[in-house]
Amino acid sequence: MLSYIIRRTLVSIPVILLMAFVVFYLIRQVPAGPFDFVGDRALPPAIRENLEKRYHLDWPLMWQFTSYVVGDDVALGVCNVAGFIPGCDIIKETPEGVSRGLIRGDLGESMKQRGRSINTIVGNSFPVSLQLGILSIILGLLIGIPAGVLAALRQNSWVDYLASFVAVLGLSIPSMVIGPVLIVVFAVKLGWLPAAQWGAPPPYTLGIIPPLTWDFFKHTIMPVIALGTGLSASIARLTRASLLQVIREDYIRTARAKGLKERVVIVRHALKNSLIPVVTILGPMVAGVVTGTFVIELIFAIPGMGKYFIDSITNRDYTLITSVSVIYGVLLVAANMLVDITYGWLDPRIRLD
């Protein structure tokens, strides 16, 4: 198992680097750089040039990326040893740099919020997005699994039809509709809940666990419902389909034939096996949740990473865009790996090696 994790991780590193490069490259091809404008005003050329030098935008692209990954000092070191590599002349002229490199855990410095390290930005905003995402998935599971099980056990009854219909409905109404509607009803009309912001500022316990106060929850309820509805709908549909399939298997019939109580048959024998497909969609679901947080954080003005990401695109904050993309990449790869490990643990027929 350990060797599997290590190998998976090793295979993932080049993949994530490749993605980082694609992002790194694409964003630099977009016309208008980070230092062309401040607000509506064009920056004086001299200042612009200085700023571009400071962030090494005058370097050849490959060198910029190298420095982003391994750090300025390493790039300089390479050039000192092998000065014949193209581009080294420029690098040697700019000895002082800001990047210590991804491999040393430095995500770089924001180009727009100058002087602020991206580690700080991510450190403050990522836990917020994570809290939003995890709570939504938990909500999705808490509603989706019982609803799916209930619908499957009462197959073709009105409970089943109602649950199935509500599930398709939940799947069809996007969070960008649910969010504003919730705001109108619960914040504007009834005034029960706040329409914006996050209830608990960082730092958090262990970097992620928020204080469990009313202030936190009243800010959380609406975003989590907006994001979790779709999740619970798809989980409910999958649970139902999967449980129905499992119930028809011979070993369930055998368990019944043995005279086991229906409850025992369902809980002990059917449920665990029917949850296996549910686990497998949690991987892709994380990707969906990431997309969801972009929208939800915009609508509810939550200071999460998604909001920073969208803002940084408009701002052309090159480093922030690349680094946040890397974080998302790592998150997704880790989620998929976790899902595969859980899958192997739930289904002994699958061996991870």
Partner 1 sequence: MAVAQQTVTHDHVAPKNAKGPWADAFTRLLKNPAAVVSMLFILFLLLIAILAEQLNPYVLQGFSDAVEVQPAYAKQTLADNSKSFGAVSTGTTTEGFVYWLGADHLGRDILSRTMYGARVSLAVAFIASAVSLFIGLVYGLVSGYAGGRVDDLMMRVVDLLYGLPIIIIVILLQVYFKALGRQTDVSGFVGAVLNLNRSLGGLLFLFVALGALNWLGMARIARGQTLSYKRQEFVEAAEAVGATPRRILFTHLLPNILGPCIVAETLAIPGYILTEAFLSFIGLGVDPPTASWGIMLNESYKAIRSSPHMIVGPAVALSLTVLAFNFLGDGLRDVFDPRMRE
Cα–Cα distance, 176 to 172 (Å, whole number): 11
Pick from 55, 59, 294, 308 the residue near partner 1 by CB under 8 A. Answer: 294
Distance (Å, rounded) from C-alpha 58 to C-alpha 44?
Answer: 17
Cβ distance to partner 1 smaller for residue 88 or 182: 182
> Closer CB to partner 1, residue 97 or residue 280?
280
Q: Of 168, 209, 264, 350, which one interacts with partner 1 (CB under 8 A)?
A: 168
Q: Judged by CB under 8 A, does residue 328 bind partner 1?
A: yes
Give the separation between CA 136 and CA 130, rounded to whole angstroms.
10
Question: Of 6, 47, 103, 177, which lies in the binding site for partner 1, with binding defined by CB under 8 A?
Answer: 177
Residue number, 88 or 321, with CB nearest to partner 1: 321
Check residue 45 for interaction with partner 1 (CB under 8 A). Answer: no
Minimum CB distance to partner 1 smaller for 159 or for 298: 298
Q: Can you say whether residue 259 is alpha, beta or left, with left for phi > 0 and alpha for psi between -120 and 50 degrees?
A: left
Angle, helix 214-247 to helix 276-299, in steps of 10 degrees = 150
- What the block records as the tokens of 11 is 């295979």
Q: Are 113 and 200 in contact (CB under 8 A)?
A: no
Closer CB to partner 1, residue 23 or residue 143? 23
**Contacting range for partner 1; rule: CB under 8 A; set: 90-98, 169-177, 210-218, 342-350:** 169-177
Helix (H, G, I), strand (E, B) or coil at 345: helix
Chain residues 14-43 in contact with partner 1, contact rule CB under 8 A? 15, 18-19, 22-23, 26-27, 29-32
Which residue among 105, 314, 348, 349 contacts partner 1 (CB under 8 A)? 314
User: Is residue 118 at the binding interface for partner 1, with CB under 8 A as the rule?
Assistant: no
In the complex, minimum distance from the CB of residue 25 to partner 1, in angstroms, rounded to a whole number: 9
CB of 165 to partner 1, least distance (A): 9
Give the x-and-dash track for 190-209 against partner 1 (CB under 8 A): -----x--------------
Give dist(CA 179, CA 185) in Å, integer: 10
Phi and psi, residue 195, nearest 5°: -85, -15
CB of 220 or CB of 322, closer to partner 1 = 322
Alpha helices in the chain (DSSP H): 2-29, 45-54, 61-70, 72-81, 88-93, 118-153, 158-172, 175-182, 214-247, 250-257, 262-264, 272-274, 276-299, 305-315, 318-346
Rg (CA), the chain: 25
Q: How far is the CB of 19 from partner 1 (least distance, A)?
A: 5
Orientation angle between helical segments 276-299 and 318-346, nearest 10 degrees: 160
End-to-end CA distance of the chain: 7
Gap between the Cα atoms of 342 and 244, Å rounded:
22
Q: What are the phi and psi torsion angles at 117 (to 5°)? A: -80, 150
CB 22 → partner 1: shortest distance, Å?
A: 6
Kind plus residue range of the DSSP H or E element containing 208: none
Q: Residues 243-282 vs partner 1: string with x where CB under 8 A?
A: -x--------------------------------------
- Judged by CB under 8 A, the residue of 70, 121, 163, 321 near partner 1 is 321
Chosen residue from 130, 145, 285, 333 binding partner 1 by CB under 8 A:
333
Residues of the shown chain interacting with partner 1 in the complex, contacts defined by CB under 8 A: 12, 15, 18-19, 22-23, 26-27, 29-32, 155-156, 168-169, 171-174, 176-177, 179-181, 183-184, 188, 195, 241, 244, 287, 290-291, 294-295, 298-299, 310, 313-314, 321, 325, 328-329, 331-333, 336
